[in-house]
Amino acid sequence: MSSLFSAATLGGLTLANRIVMAPLTRSRTGHAGIPGALNATYYAQRATAGAIIAEATQISPQGQGYAYTPGIYTDAQVAGWKLVTEAVHRDGGRIFLQLWHVGRISHPSLQPDGGLPVAPSAIRPEGKAFTEAGFQPFVTPRALATAEIAGIVEDYRRAAVNADRAGFDGVEIHGANGYLIDQFLKDGTNQRTDQYGGSIENRTRFLLEVVEAVVGALGVDRVGLRISPASPANDIADSDPQPLFDHAVAALARFDLAFLHVVEGATGGSRESTFDFQALRRAFKGAYIANNGYDGAMAEEAISAGRADFVAFGRPFIANPDLVERLRSKAPLAEADRDTLYGGDAHGYTDYPPLRRAAA
């Protein structure tokens, strides 16, 4: 019977355990989105995870939606990320990069030349964007012209190539949490009448084109996908998500992806949902990574019962760089300082002590 702490295969990699560090936006890369030594220290501290999925990283200037988040579209950003991957690999870890385009979840102050954010349809989301001037209300985005979409697919492909140049073990395509791919998938944000809108087949077209491009760049065993079928994050919804995501996962079968990373329930919130996540687990041939509100006991039970191959932990990794050891020994977990989650310096980022030092 498998254990949370047993070795396992993910794509072409053998991982030391089944604990995955989920991507966590921390907004600590400065104006140009270039990771540095501080970020390398942060990730290396957490290298005992079976695999790290690094924070969401914009594939282009247009893809940015938050201040001080990293990119993977310039040579300087590639060099910065190389510091991170080398540090993680020196400590025996494995690390993937999450490829991100936020779509409408942005603000003109974050966009090239102050332009409007883009989306499948010109529908303004409720909420506020985190900008360098503080939180500002979202605006109504500009609907993408059909002819523009191929260029964004190419941005994903180029970002995957750059991730490889930076030394990542693989990439995760961010198709969750109300960002651009999710906006194309769900009918609450996609009211297009071209080949990318209307039917389920059309609404999944953009996702499949992105997957095909990224797989073409890296190979199937180095690519995974994150989805959040039932999450309302970033003011998104679908009128009937089960057939939509059943179809999407079935359509992914031809790619034989390394993993499917599923937010079960509302992102960062309730796990209660009528959605049948195990239907996706049964349909997907690769590794299934379960995510959302798991503690050690829940994760162990999910692995032992075969409901997941890996379990991703997000916020617990912030204040517990040695989360794997704490879960193994059933030690208490430290609580993160909410005031230092986004932006700032080493405080609340790399200064959380591991268990042994905390007890000394």
Q: What pLDDT score was predicted for residue 119?
A: 98
CA distance 252 to 348: 39
Verify whether residue 179 is a known catalytic residue: yes
CA distance 287 to 247: 18
pLDDT tens per residue across all 360 residues of the chain? 579 999 999 999 999 999 999 999 999 998 899 999 999 999 999 999 999 999 999 999 999 999 999 999 999 999 999 999 999 999 999 999 999 999 999 999 999 999 999 999 999 999 999 999 999 999 999 999 999 999 999 999 999 999 999 999 999 999 999 999 999 999 999 999 999 999 999 999 999 999 999 999 999 999 999 999 999 999 999 999 999 999 999 999 999 999 999 999 999 888 988 999 999 999 999 999 999 999 999 999 999 999 999 999 999 999 999 999 999 999 999 999 999 999 999 999 999 999 876 554
Q: What pLDDT score was predicted for residue 2?
A: 72
Structure-token pair, residue 75:
């040579």
Q: What pLDDT score was predicted for residue 321?
A: 98
Amino acid in the structure at residue 227: I
| Phi, psi for 129 (deg, rounded to 5) | -95, 145
Q: Which of 179, 196, 288, 294 is catalytic?
A: 179
Q: What pLDDT score was predicted for residue 356?
A: 76
Query: Which residue in 115, 116, 114, 119 sits closest to 103, CA to CA?
Result: 119
CA distance 348 to 24: 13
CA distance 211 to 208: 5
| Phi, psi for 280 (deg, rounded to 5) | -70, -40
Q: What is the dihedral sign for C-alpha 92, 313, 230, 285?
A: positive
Query: Which residue in 288, 176, 273 sits closest to 227, CA to CA?
Result: 176
Strand partners, 96: 53, 170
Cβ pair 69, 27 in contact under 8 A: yes
Q: What pLDDT score was predicted for residue 203?
A: 98
